[in-house]
A and B are shown apart, each in its own frame.
Chain A
Amino acid sequence: MTQTRPITDALAAAERLVITVRRDPASIVMVLAAPAVLVLIFGYIFGAAIQLPGSAAGSADYREFLIPGLLVTMAFNIIPSMVSIARDTDRGIVDRFRSLPISRSAIPAGQAIATSLYAMVGFVVMMLCGLAVGWRIRDGAIRALAALALLVLFQFAMTWVGMYLGQLLGKEEAAGQASILVLPLGMVSNVFVPTTGMPGWLRLIADWNPISAASAAVRNLFGNPGAPTNGAWPLEHPVTATLIWIAVILAVFAPLCTARYARTGR
């Protein structure tokens, strides 16, 4: 009884998320509705005016280009994990957990795992929406599963970022306000449009944005049309680049987040 049981503790943290989702039917509706709204706005409103190289504006090609980008945008969305941990910190729930005889690092780990697995529901709904508007899996089931796995890993890495930032902000309102900054980060990428037309300095940022690499990788694995790479290394080797990004993000933010959670400071 002198040792903690990290697996049990992580499962308890995961269970908390499962119960939270079950108690909040509105959040389930959001998870189901958000993909349809995103496809409508970007596929048909903005998409109507966006022309990919070699195809007509408003064609199904754009929607096929868009769906992988939207999947990555969803995986990149750190707002829920940021807001929920900021809320727990503010309300003293983190302090309560920290005063328990449990492995302190297990709690964020359990939360990250549960968040990533739950995100799969959103990915599947988005893929169904995609199928309805002309997006297709063109390179077989194995590569499609690889794409899904990559999305889950990307989500897992980003969840640690969200949980670290949420702890730094420490207040639900602050986390909510900071989330406005997350959207532009997703826009400076090849998610919605190819980076080719951007001014040079912005294109450099967009080409090296992990979201761009991930979008290119997912397009590649699903066999969907990609964007010109401009010779940027991450876009030339999107799967490798995405895996490197995931490893780097995890290597930086998982220890930071865990240390912050476990620290005996304030």
Chain B
Amino acid sequence: MNVIETTGLTRSFGPVHALRGLDLQVAAGTICALLGPNGAGKTTAIRILATLCRPDDGRAEICGFDVASQPLQVRRRIGLAGQHAAVDDNLTGQDNLFILGLMHHLGRRGARARASELLERFALTEAANRPVKTWSGGMRRRLDLIASLVVDPPVLFLDEPTTGLDLRSRTEIWSTARELASQGSTVLLTTQYLDEADALADEVVIIDAGRTVAEGSPQQLKDRIGTRVDVVVAGPADLPTAASVLARWATAEPSIDSDTRRVSAAVPAGALTLPELVRHLDNAGVPVVDAGIRRPTLDEVFLRLTTGPTVKDAA
């Protein structure tokens, strides 16, 4: 059963078309990543689903309740953690969760107990009674995430939960998100980072300019996008030879940068291994200074997905 379902979601802000007919289905108990660059419409989608913003057109349902006509039913089932740490800096971690507990009608004792329980579960007990302004950025973001869990909502929206965080804090947020999903929550997360979607999501929906451009499991998407091969050669004369070697696997004409003596090419995922690559270059007599096979960056993914007709055919 789909816990989150949207059809033809459209929303403009004056001349800006944030969403142009977004269709989205998220099955119960899964983590879905909405992946896209800044301005792709990710936050607008989350705001509509969290009843903070109305769609101009289209429908959105959470657990079968319409976000526009049954907002209260929707709000009972969702938790929202935003791009900023939406916590009160002047209060302690315990205070922040306590007040949200009161607003969730847990009562004073219930709210206090729930706050302590959550802080302990997410290893923030030590800092619990310090004002949040003395916490690190990662801890604050984690508190923000926890704050959306005061009543264990079945659906959780995480809007760019790790943007601007250091690596360690990101890992902590990731493990928290995984833990939530393992307990049966459905998580919709937005991110600009391919590796984040890769690490967390069961299903990835790539959106650009307010529309879905691709969807599938991280593995399916990576296979579709392929990998990128970079070779740096010793002299300018070696560049054409290296390019012709790469062209055997490349899905498009290899690009040559003579300043850095680098040849780059996109190749299908798993088409060749690093030892194979070096062997082929060596056989062709190319002196290799540096060689690497790496996953594409998000920019490349977008370039491929928005301009490459072969990819659209494959979808």
Also in contact, A5 and B105, with CB within 8 A (given A92-B82, A264-B53): yes
The CA-CA distance from A11 to B52 in the complex, in Å, is 23
**A102, closest chain B residue (CB):** B103
> Is B103 touching A99 in the complex (CB atoms < 8 A)?
no
Q: Is the CB of B53 within 8 A of A100?
A: no
Nearest residue in B to A21 (C-beta to C-beta)?
B90
Interface size on B, residues (CB 8 A): 37
Q: Closest Cβ of chain B: how far from A118's Cβ, in Å?
A: 15
Interface string of A215-229 (1 = CB under 8 A from B): 000000000000000
Give the shortest distance, in Å, between B68 (CB) and chain A (any CB): 8
Contacts of A101 in B (CB 8 A): 72, 75-76, 104
Pairwise interchain contact A100-B90, C-beta atoms closer than 8 A: no
* A95, A97, A102 — most chain B CB neighbours (10 Å): A95
Q: Are A23 and B92 CB-contacts (below 8 A) given A2-B72, A8-B102, A91-B84?
A: yes
Q: Do A100 and B82 form a contact, CB below 8 Å, given A19-B91, A23-B95, A93-B87?
A: no
Report the minimum CB–CB distance from B43 to chain A (whole Å): 11
Interface membership of chain A positions 4-15, coded 1 if the CB is closer than 8 angstroms to chain B and 0 otherwise: 110011011101
A12-B102, A15-B102, A92-B82 as given contacts; A99 in contact with B88, CB under 8 Å? no
- For the complex, what is the distance from the CA of A229 to the CA of B286, rounded to whole Å? 98
Q: Check: B78 CB closer than 8 A to any chain A CB.
A: yes
In the complex, chain A residues 183-240 whose Cβ is within 8 Å of any chain B Cβ: none
CA distance A4 to B105 in the complex (A): 10
Nearest residue, chain B, Cβ from A1: B76
Q: In the complex, A12 Cα to B88 Cα: how many Å? A: 14
Closest residue of chain B to A96 (Cβ to Cβ) is B86
Q: Are B99 and A19 in contact (CB under 8 A)?
A: yes
Residues of B near A54 (CB, < 8 A) are none
Residue of A23, A98, A99 most packed against chain B (CB within 10 A):
A99
Q: Does the CB pair A9–B103 fall under 8 Å?
A: yes
Known A-B contacts A101-B75, A264-B53; A96 and B95 likewise in contact (beta carbons under 8 Å): no
Instruction: Let me know if A12 and B78 touch, CB within 8 A.
Output: no
Known: A23-B131, A264-B71. A99 touches B92 (CB 8 A): no
- Cβ < 8 Å to A, chain B residues 103-149: 103-105, 131, 147-148
Q: Are B103 and A97 in contact (CB under 8 A)?
A: yes
- Bits for B66-79, please: 1 = Cβ < 8 Å to A, else 0: 00000111011011
Bound form: Cα–Cα A93–B91 in Å: 13
B50 within 8 A of A: yes
Partner of B105 from A8, A24, A99 at Cβ < 8 Å: A8
Q: Which residue of B lies closest to A9 (CB)?
A: B103
Instruction: For chain A, residues 1 to 56, give those with C-beta under 8 angstroms from any C-beta of chain B.
Output: 1-2, 4-5, 8-9, 11-13, 15-16, 19-20, 23-24
- Extra 12 A-B pairs, beta carbons < 8 Å, given A1-B76, A99-B50: A2-B73, A8-B102, A12-B102, A23-B95, A91-B84, A91-B85, A93-B87, A96-B80, A96-B147, A98-B51, A98-B52, A266-B13
- Chain A to chain B contacts (Cβ below 8 Å), 24 pairs: A1-B76, A2-B72, A2-B73, A12-B103, A15-B102, A16-B88, A23-B131, A88-B88, A91-B86, A91-B88, A92-B84, A93-B86, A93-B87, A95-B47, A95-B86, A96-B86, A96-B100, A96-B147, A98-B52, A99-B52, A101-B75, A101-B104, A102-B103, A264-B54
